[in-house]
Structure 1
Amino acid sequence: MLKELLVPPSALDDPHAVEMVRVWIAQGKLESSIKVGMYAESTDIAEDFAWGVILADLARHISNALQSGYGFTGDVLERIKTSFLDELGAPTSAVQGAFVDEGSLQSKDR
């Protein structure tokens, strides 16, 4: 049984809301599903720039949650940033998986 997180009320109320990322720890490793291409296909915003903003915003939310919900002190955001940059420079595991075109999956399901 999946232990899914709650959907934010604002996303439930917005007919144009789009889920961008899902991340799990499954079978001892990190698994993800990512909506890549939305910006490139529907806006003038550069896709790589948009993902940088999304990742930075997630880091801020995680930092705030660790401080307010778990009593973390000091510069939590800086520690997250350091960990992030360390992981980019020397990954603890190889990235596996491939881009899957959502449209091709939907046409196969019919």
Structure 2
Amino acid sequence: MRELRTPTGIEGDDDSTEMIRIWLAHEDLHVSLLLGMWEDAEECEVDERDAWGELLADSIQHIANGLNQSHGWDKEQTIVRITNSLLKNTKCPTGVVTGSYVEENT
């Protein structure tokens, strides 16, 4: 099993929180999400749906930056291509979403 390293910059933050994990296994995507974090946060007036949109947008920026560094691809063109693919696959999914909401292990 291949796991990614923990990113630098989170050391020493006892409140650091993993928000999403995506695995490719058995020829399918497997996803684990921490839903409700923004909703549950004290004094947070952010809509959970908007927060996830921001998280995904920031992720696309990181992907474009990484592909620029690893493959030399233009960041802006990569952002447009990923965004177009995201919108296309959101409207016409290539796979079936299964599974259900599971309460966080405590």
TM-score between the two structures when normalised by the length of structure 2: 0.90
Identical aligned residues as a percent? 34
Going by fraction, where is helix more abundant, 1 or 2?
Answer: 1
The within-5 A match list for 1:86-105 is: 86-102=88-104, 105=105
**What residue identity is the alignment partner of 1:61?**
H
Q: Counterpart of 1:9?
A: 8
Q: Counterpart of 1:84?
A: 86
Aligned residues: 103
Distance 2:20 2:94 in 1: 21
Q: Counterpart of 1:37?
A: 36
Q: Counterpart of 1:48?
A: 49
Distance 1:91 1:60 in 2: 22
**Structure with larger RCO (C-alpha < 8 A, sep 6+):** 2
Moved >6 Å (runs of 4+) = none
Q: CA deviation at 1:92?
A: 0.3
Distance 1:12 1:33 in 2: 22
Distance 1:96 1:45 in 2: 27
Counterpart of 2:46 in 1: which secondary structure? coil
RMSD: 1.3
Give the gaps of 5 or more residues in structure 2: none
Distance 2:8 2:61 in 1: 20
Q: CA deviation at 1:3?
A: 1.1
Distance 2:70 2:13 in 1: 27
Q: Counterpart of 2:18?
A: 19
Give the gaps of 5 or more residues in structure 1: none
Distance 2:64 2:81 in 1: 9
User: Deviation digits for residues 6-65 of structure 1, max 9, x if unmatched?
Assistant: 111222221110000011111101111100000111122110010000000000110111
